[in-house]
Structure 1
Amino acid sequence: MTSNKSLRMDDFLAGWVGGASSVVVGHPLDTVKTRLQAGKGYKNMTDCVVTIYRKETAAGFFKGLSFPLATVTAYNSLVFGFFNNARRLICERRYGDERRPAGLADVTAASMLTGLASVSLGAPVDLVKIRLQMQTHAAVLADSFQLAGSASHKMAAAAAPAGTRSLHVSNGGGELYRGPLHCVSSIVRREGLPGLYRGGGAMLLRDVPGYALYFVPYAVFCDLLKADATSEPHPCSIWLAGGLAGSISWVTATPADVVKSRLQADAHLHRKYNGVLHCILQSYKTEGAQVFFRGASVNAIRGFPMSATMFLAYELSLQFFQKF
């Protein structure tokens, strides 16, 4: 039997491989999802894709990619390492044996604890990713995109002095943030360390139930797709189970994800939302209940390949690393 220390390192390495693979696969649709949720001016998902490509070329779909890739090792190590340790601890406390197969209640509890813990690292990572994704040139802003807000916000951004414009436009029509590190330093300088956790409350509302609806369906589908009770799931079964779990998790998490994206994309100098409840009320008042399902189709489509890739790469790399 592999030692706990070795298992933790195996989970760390496997989480890096799976997470990096899923980020590359899912980032283009993640950018589309963010633009649809945080802004308006797009008729639908297809119009958003075409507009981004026409105005920003294919590179527009990969804005903010470097930061998730750079942080994916730590984040997925936290998620998968914490989940597996929590699951083993729960089994040890309940049954006196950490190696006993976890029941659905055990997996649910471990998943929700994982969602709670993941926000500590996930909130700043998501914030920077979204701020970078939402950057666009002045021509794009004028033609096809603005943050969900009034026309006066756009006029104020255009009229503001150099160095005080909103998130999207800087002097000369260039980008305000030069990269992830510059984005982090700018947020801390203007908003302090708490600024890195803007939208964290909405992220808790998304991830605590979201991870339960991620790991539990995965475990259920893996069991259903196994040839028999004692066999290991086939890679095709892992891929399918992971994809279905991802779609379920992301679709059900869409309302909280909309609120989180809006709070995180909200520019510091032209802030529109005071918090989670204010964002919910304002969004509902101005755009109706349908706004909370904006990007749901993108989440369903994006969630499948991302999670299928994540779980398959994780499970296969874990098996590989445990041979050494």
Structure 2
Amino acid sequence: MQTSQSFRMDDFIAGCIGGGASVVVGHPLDTVKTRLQAGHGYRSSLHCVLSIYRKETAMGFFKGMSFPLASITVYNSVVFGFFSNTQRLISRYRYGDGRRPCGMADLAAASMLTGLVSVSLGAPVDLVKIRLQMQTQMVLAESLHLAGNVPSGSNIPMRSISVPTKSLYRGPLHCISSILQTEGLQGLYRGAGAMVLRDVPGYMLYFIPYTVLCDLLRPDGTSSLHPGSIMLAGGLAGSISWVTATPADVVKSRLQADAQRKRKYKGIVHCILTSYRTEGAQVFFRGWSVNAVRGFPMSATMFLTYELSLQFFRSL
């Protein structure tokens, strides 16, 4: 598995496996988070959960999961592979030994670079996922937009305008094709700027707490961590990262879900100002509790699967 002292492929493979496991665990709450941040009519997290279940059954929580399951495995492979190899390159450049553990400044640099790189792959993945998760509400928005265009002198009452029940997109590929046809290639990167604001500090607050917590849970610094300790460190790191990233995540979700015929938001600043004026400062913390809850099992699963896979490959 090792191609050189500084570059290893097993980090990429382990990241791929961990990514797939984390998607299965975290997608239902990710759907709730997205609906809370970019949707309308939900009074609380519990109300959102109950609404999805009553209107769309349990399958509603797994809308749009096929695409993340296929793509986030690749995405996490790049994230974990890039982060681990960047650490070794930094150690090799600064200390002459790629095996030397990184200091806090080195970890911060590797994390922030990872956040930048992740956007190139993550922005289209997140966009398609959110469009698929939001399409029930987007169909409703389109229907109400059409209803609002009925001449005021018409005798057709608003309640008689039927709302289509079919989905806007037949699946991930149809979603990508539709976005390319209507918005062009740049449409796949809508919200990428907000994603940079989320992921650059977000990954720093993901990998550094995980590293620090692992060191605290391994007092002698040499023994292997118990799987429970890995899950605890990974889960806490995930919760910390997602809670602090919530404001930028709200803006990103709104920009990416903004697929109606008449755009609501012209860009990041316009989205922030419009959201603040219409809903107050609390809007930027919408979904933070779901992020905190979702971040724990998802990241615990991610890090545990990654570390166990890495141990397996390096024992071969």
Q: Calculate the TM-score normalised by the size of structure 2.
A: 0.92
Q: By how many angstroms is 1:241 displaced?
A: 0.2
Equivalence for 1:150: none
Partner Cα distance (1:295, 1:157) in 2: 30
Q: By how many angstroms is 1:230 displaced?
A: 1.8
Q: By how many angstroms is 1:5 displaced?
A: 9.0
- Whether 2:48 is the aligned partner of 1:56: answer no
Contact 1:188 1:195 in 2 (8 A): yes
Partner Cα distance (1:201, 1:57) in 2: 34
Partner Cα distance (2:149, 2:120) in 1: 34
Greater shift, 274-283 or 64-73, is seen at: 64-73
Contact 2:246 2:284 in 1 (8 A): yes
User: How does 1:162-241 map onto structure 2 within 5 Å?
Assistant: 172-241=164-233
Partner Cα distance (1:197, 1:302) in 2: 25
1:16-51 deviation digits (Å, cap 9, x = unpaired): 211111100000000000000002211100000000
1:70-117 deviation digits (Å, cap 9, x = unpaired): 112320111011101211111112111111111111111100000000
- Whether 2:305 is the aligned partner of 1:313: answer yes
- Whether 2:298 is the aligned partner of 1:289: answer no
Moved beyond 2 Å, runs of 4+: 1-9, 157-161, 170-173
Q: By how many angstroms is 1:159 displaced?
A: 6.1
Equivalence for 1:155: 144
Q: Secondary structure at the match of 2:97?
A: coil
- Counterpart of 1:114, as a letter, is T
Unaligned ranges ≥5, structure 2:
151-161
Q: By how many angstroms is 1:265 displaced?
A: 0.1
Partner Cα distance (1:189, 1:249) in 2: 35
Q: By how many angstroms is 1:232 displaced?
A: 2.2
Equivalence for 2:267: 275
1:128-174 deviation digits (Å, cap 9, x = unpaired): 00000001179x94xxxx6xxxxxx763144679xxxxxxxx98430
Q: By how many angstroms is 1:227 displaced?
A: 4.0
Contact 2:143 2:164 in 1 (8 A): no
1:243-300 deviation digits (Å, cap 9, x = unpaired): 0000000000000000000000001522100000000000000000000000000000
Partner Cα distance (1:39, 1:312) in 2: 33
Greater shift, 83-92 or 235-244, is seen at: 83-92
- Counterpart of 2:8, as a letter, is R
Gap change, CA 1:157 and 1:255, over 3 Å in 2: farther
- Counterpart of 1:273, as a letter, is Y
Equivalence for 2:87: 87
Contact 2:214 2:230 in 1 (8 A): yes
Q: CA RMSD in A?
A: 2.1
Contact 1:137 1:175 in 2 (8 A): no
Q: How many residues align?
A: 305
Partner Cα distance (1:171, 1:183) in 2: 20
Gap change, CA 1:6 and 1:209, over 3 Å in 2: closer
Partner Cα distance (1:109, 1:213) in 2: 12
Query: Identity, % of aligned pairs?
Result: 72
Q: Secondary structure at the match of 2:169?
A: coil
Unaligned ranges ≥5, structure 1:
147-152, 162-169
- Counterpart of 1:35, as a letter, is R
Partner Cα distance (2:5, 2:168) in 1: 43
- Whether 2:44 is the aligned partner of 1:44: answer yes
Equivalence for 1:122: 122
Partner Cα distance (2:23, 2:262) in 1: 30
